Amino acid sequence: MIIKVLGSAAGGGFPQLNCSCRNCAAVRAGEPGYVPRTQSSLAVSSDGKAWALLNASPDLRQQVAATPELAPPQGGDLRASPIKAVVLTNGDVDHVAGLLSLREGIRFTLYAAGPVLSTLQSNSIFNVLDPKLVPRVALSPDRPTRLCGPLGDLGLTVEAFTVPGKIALYLENPAAGEGLGTREGDTVGLEVCDTATGSAFFYVPGCAAVDEPLAARLRGASLVLFDGTLYTDEEMIAQGLSAKTGKRMGHISMSGPQGSIAALASLGIARRVFIHINNSNPVLDDAGPERAAVEAAGWEVAFDGMEIRL
Ligand code: MLT
Ligand code: MN
Ligand code: ZN
């Protein structure tokens, strides 16, 4: 199985277009140790020919252009794409807006949990994806689904499981109380398995907390790509960027006793990679102490174009 990181940044990307925080200013200025990143998405393939996207980011067009494996194949139909399936983990703008760039008559299958499919259904702009070309399939929670594109089986299964999280920002309902109207299945993690080799990994780009069921699921995994939005819960407030904590945004932080580094430390996971990294996160400085700390704890920080073979 081949896994390509198309985009490793959180919503807004790195640099974010309206942000002049320390990190964004440094990457914009081309300071050494700061690498631009596009918004959160992976491409996965068992054979290197047919690909599934895990989330469809607003930067999808740029990501496809930067990924030779996703270029239209030469010598066949003039209009074709190796993208045969798209799987969504939530309805956030950074994970669904790229669907609008897939409207050019591409045939693929769209998979998401029920609540996210209803969100797409109720936003008529997504009708640009002709249902004859793009069937939508609901992922049953906690059960593997075989990914099938227009030409057949991709040799991959995906199992979606609910993780602690929050409804998409544009759907928040303050009148609904603390949960803001969050429903079961609004945020899922995915376990992706190559049916031929049995190799498997987890992709959890949005997660508010590591509870017991999630820890049990991740125990002993070969590879986990996990929510790396913030280093500390209050970093956006401390930097004067926003009034929101990570918790309020539905994201666990990397550091601290309640953080993801601590929560995943003793689960026997062979390879741990942070993804969906917000532009405020100090680990984006390759030479900074926070990067050194996460690496010393056994983690990697994803970058665009990162390739992992399992
Ligand atoms: C998030 O990950 O919290 C969202 O992508 C935020 C947003 O929609 O801008
Ligand atoms: Mn996001
Ligand atoms: Zn910034």
Q: Give the model's pLDDT for residue 76.
A: 87
Instruction: Please identify, by atom number, the ligand 1 atom nearest to the C-alpha of residue 12.
Output: 9
Cα 206-43-249 angle, rounded to 5 deg: 15
Cα 79-81-86 angle, rounded to 5 deg: 135
Q: Are 193 and 242 in contact (CB under 8 A)?
A: no
Q: Give the model's pLDDT for residue 242.
A: 97
Average per-residue pLDDT in the chain? 97
**Is the confidence at residue 310, as pLDDT, over 90?**
yes
Interval between CA 92 and ligand 1 midpoint (Å): 6
CB of 249 shorter than 6 A to ligand 1: yes
Q: Measure Cα distances from 47 to 28, 44, 50, 203 in Å.
A: 37, 9, 7, 19
Instruction: Please identify, by atom number, the ligand 1 atom nearest to the C-alpha of residue 11.
Output: 5
The string of pLDDT tens digits covering residues 258-304 is 999 999 999 999 999 999 999 999 999 999 999 999 999 999 999 99
Instruction: Please identify, by atom number, the ligand 1 atom nearest to the C-alpha of residue 170.
Output: 8
The string of pLDDT tens digits covering residues 202-261 is 999 999 999 999 999 999 999 999 999 999 999 999 999 999 999 999 999 999 999 999
Q: For the residues of 262-299, what is the DSSP string, one character each?
A: HHHTTS--S-EEEESB-TT-GGGSTTSHHHHHHHHTTE
The string of pLDDT tens digits covering residues 143-172 is 999 999 999 999 999 999 999 999 999 999
Q: Give the model's pLDDT for residue 140.
A: 95
Residue identifier of the C-alpha nearest atom 7 of ligand 1: 11
Residues of the chain above pLDDT 90, percent: 99
CB of 10 shorter than 6 A to ligand 1: yes
